[in-house]
Each structure stands twice: as structure tokens, then as C-alpha cells.
Structure 1
């Protein structure tokens, strides 16, 4: 039996008033989003304006691609690009494969940048044109979904700015050719145990502003305010939204970039996160009103793209290999751990 919002383990925010409501309605939605962003960093959204038929059509497109033969999918291997576009086989997930295995493969795309964009020409900056599989109608379906969810992200950005009482233009100025990635994830069926080394996706925070996720099956776990893992089951008609590192930084730590993971159930599963990011060179630091001495010390200025590349280089084996071989030499340090990471107060669930 399908779950309903009554089964939600996280806050549920109704975005309906944003679409047609008054300023008072917008303020009320903003307050609900702000409360969820401060207390859990994870929440469901309903009445978001994206038809369920469009979501299902994009899930079907993802399934169509991932059901292709391995040899066909490898024609679009992400390692053929320097801006991470195309097919990501599961053995590329994580620099230390096979010691740690994340049992997912993906099709990765992002904001469409022209082939003459300076960051694409420079290489290894997560900016450039997308690649597309040779499947009739596939590009139109997936790019249409990307555009719809990206537009929803802009509404969320403006509403969270309202909650923080800052001018939305102060945030939007960093969105011109953003590193906003859509992943069509396919969790691969396997007979391995659910351990810290054998995951769907290991524990992490998201590096961007926030993530808008359509999930097609159970497995997502979220670290709650007590640093305990809880389930976040899929609920039809909703998206799951989580705050990322950029918004935690902006808010001086008021909003929470929450740890989450996908356990290895061994069952096939699909999901579609859109990571709402910013221009590669945008400098992120606490907004002026949140720039306390404690916040400034905890969140030193960082370039959004460099933070993304620092964590992405550790996240994909082909990038780590390219760096180690001197194919590209990053002008930033690669940390041992994401500085936004928190540890759970209970062992991993299997």
C-alpha cells in the first residue's frame, strides 16, 4: 500500500500558497520552510506544481537508459568528459573502490553551458554542454524535467531568502551558469550485505544550496537532530528537499546541511536528485546579517565550484585517478573529510 503524508517521518511543507497566494501566504510558507531547514535540514514538499505524470515519464526515461547493455551505456562514459557528463558506472563511485562499494550507477547532466564557455575550455570545472544518449525523445523528456525542477528550485531559493529576510537578488546574482546537476540514479540489484563498506550511497551532506529529490523506493536514511538515522520513505506526489553546504554557510549555521545515505537493500531502485548549485566562481560565506565572529571562523569564504570539485574528486574514481596522474592539477586542497560531516550516535543499520 502506498504511503501518504501521514506516514512522513520528516516535516511536510505545502507549497501551494506560493503559486497563487498572497504575501501573507508566502510568509507563512517561508516560515514553515525555515523551521524545517533549522530543525532537520530535510523535509517533504507537496503541491509543488510539477505534474506526477512528468515525474513518472522521467523515471521511465531513466529506466530505459539503464536497461541498455553495459557496452551501449559505456559509449557515454563520464570519463570521456572533463566536466562530468554522461554515464557513471557503479565502480566509479568513490576513490577507494572496491574497498568501499556504492551500488548505484547514474546518468549525470547539468545546466547547459555553451562549448565556448571559458570554464568548459579550461577543463575540470563542472561546466559545459550536456551529452545525450541516442534514444528518440529522451533528451526532450529529461531536459524538460530538469527545467521544471530547476524553476521550482528558484521558487524555493526566493522563499528561503524571504524567511532569512534578505533580498532574493543577493542570492540570485550567483545563478548565471550554475553547477546544478541532475542525477538519474539506478541502484543496482546485488546480493551483498548492508554494511558501511557496502552501501547504496555512503553518508554525506550535499555540497550545493539544496537538493530536490524524487525517490522511487525505500532506502534513504537521514540523520535527525539527535544525530540518529531515521528512514525517509517515498511518498507519492512529494519531493524530498534537503539543505546543502552553501545554505548552511550563508545562514551562519542556522540552516542544517544534513547527513544522509542510502542503505544497500540489495533491491533495484531508482531516484532523481537535482542538486541546486551556483556559478562555479561564486564566493560563498555567511551573509552579512549572520556574520558573527563564530560564523566567520566556522565558515571561511569558499568558491562554490571549488568546494564541489573538492568533494566530487573524492567521490568519483576516474577524477581521483586523473588528479593523481597529473591530468589536472587542482588549485585547492582535497580534504580527508567533508568539513560539514557529523557522526551518527548509533551504528549503521543493515
Structure 2
């Protein structure tokens, strides 16, 4: 996988092309763990306004562990998606509900399963490929999970530690916003929380790319990426801009359940995966979706 470009050069190149680039706040995970008042206030402010921010993982033991595993997990992801379609088809899950997004999926367009198929016309070659691991299955079954691809079993220690680290980070963010939110995310209760690997290629012509605009279901989304492709609506600026990949940081966004619990105080932002300019290339993403307990979502649905 290509290494991340120099951030300054990359941003300057975008600006020279007249492409808007967002300037998001950076929040320190280490300071959140230390209960730093200023950092906690910044977390609440950014969650209430933009709904997007970078989380600097460096200097925190748990964050450093996640970052240490990040190159290896990206390598596993790239190796997995480089297999033949015939091989990956064996990883399609037929034992899940329609609302779940586990195992391997090949989808048209630029959106993940949670937000559905795009409404714009898509060329046949524009495909999104995903593989999602369930936190519940990671915890309960580990490498003995019969649905786990052989490649993941061979690399299980790094995947499991990375998965656990991402989960701890998301729960730290949640408890830092309100301890009351934690009651809906008990580890001993079923949920659709999990790690998703995504191969989302860019196209030769940007005019052929959709924008995949959506808000995220769930509570908090944590994302690692190394190439331009995430575009978000900034409510304060009232404009759209691309979010640069930042070394040592995860991109965090508030999702719909967190907005609901806060009575609309926290902002679940509109965003999408697209591309800023021409050029066909493979783009890999690692997303961790923290989602509420299934029982709560069922109560919400029955009350609708």
C-alpha cells in the first residue's frame, strides 16, 4: 500500500486545484484519559458543532497499541481483497439479518450496506467491497469462529488487539461525553458493533463518481484512511470540504444514536466517500462502528 503523502504538500496540491479542505480540531486521547478539563470541553464543543474531529492516538498506551497494529491490519485488508472473487464469495454470510452487515459484500456505488444503495446511476465497474467483523463474535468465539477467513485466523492476534483497542477508544469518547450513555453499550449485551474493512476504488474520471451522502447509523464511527476521499458538510461554514488523512490520528464522527440521546445537542454530520480529482486507484479504509445494544434499537423500532 502506498504510504501517506506529506500532509502539507497534499493539502497545498488540493488548494491549488481549488478543492476545499476542512480544518478540523485535533483532540488528544491521552488528555481525555487524564480527564483534562480543556480537552473534555473541546470534545463536547466539536461533537455539538461539526460532529467531526481528529483523535490523536499518540502518547496514549492504548492509542499507541492501535497505531502499532495499524500497518499490519491494513496489510491484511489489502491481502484479503486481492484474492479472487470466487475465494471471497465463500465469506458471504447467509446466517445474518437483513439489517446486519457481516462478512464479505460486493456492492455497487460509494456507500456501505448501512446506508443503502445510491440513487444515482453507477457504472458496472464502480464497486465497493467490504468485510465486517462482529465485536460479539470476536469476544465470544475469537479465532475459532467458523465464519472467519483463513487469512484472518493466521493474523488473529493483531486483528483482535486492534479491534479491542478501537472499541476501548470509542467507549472512552462516549464516557467522556456522558457516563450515562455507557448503559446502552454493555459488552455483555448483543450489538452490531464491529470493525469493517472497505476497498473503495476511485475512478479514472471524477465526473463518474457519486457522492454517497449520508449520516452514520450507530453511536460513534472511528475511521483510518491514507488517501483523499472523505467529504463532509461543515455546518458552521455552510459548505462541503474534503477531510485530509492525518498521521497518528483517527477521524471520528458522531452518529445518529448519539444525536438522539443528546436530544439533538450532538451533531451527526452529512458526509460521503467520493474523490476530489481524476485517477483510478485502490483506496482502503478501516472503520470501527460503535453501535447501541440490539435490545435498545428494537425498542426504538417498536415505538415508531
Q: Same fold (TM over 0.5)?
A: yes
Where do residues 1-350 of structure 1 align in structure 2 (5 Å cutoff)?
A: 1-3=5-7, 9-19=23-33, 21=34, 23=35, 25=36, 27-46=37-56, 47=58, 49-51=63-65, 52-79=67-94, 81-82=96-97, 83-91=100-108, 94-95=116-117, 99-100=121-122, 103-113=127-137, 131-135=147-151, 137-161=154-178, 167=180, 169-172=182-185, 176-188=189-201, 190-195=203-208, 198-199=209-210, 202-225=212-235, 226-264=237-275, 266-282=280-296, 303=300, 306=301
CA shift in 2, pair 1:112/1:252, >3 Å: same
Q: Please list every run of 5 or more consecutive structure 2 residues that lacks an aligned counterpart in the other structure.
A: 12-21
Q: Please list every run of 5 or more consecutive structure 1 residues that lacks an aligned counterpart in the other structure.
A: 117-128, 285-301, 307-330, 334-350
Q: Distance in 1 between matches of 2:249 and 2:285?
A: 13
* 1:108, distance to aligned residue in structure 2 (A): 1.1
Q: Distance in 1 between matches of 2:257 and 2:46?
A: 16
- CA offset digits 1:290-319 (Å, max 9, x no partner): xxxxxxxxxxxx63xx5xxxxxxxxxxxxx
CA shift in 2, pair 1:50/1:177, >3 Å: farther
Q: Distance in 2 between matches of 1:280 and 1:235?
A: 33
DSSP 3-state at the match of 1:268: coil
TM-score normalized by the length of structure 1: 0.67
CA shift in 2, pair 1:280/1:130, >3 Å: farther
- CA offset digits 1:271-303 (Å, max 9, x no partner): 11111111111159xxxxxxxxxxxxxxxxx63
DSSP 3-state at the match of 2:265: coil
* 1:192, distance to aligned residue in structure 2 (A): 5.0
Higher RCO (Cα < 8 Å, 6 or more apart): 2
Q: Distance in 1 between matches of 2:39 and 2:293?
A: 27
Q: Give me the CA root mean square deviation.
A: 3.0
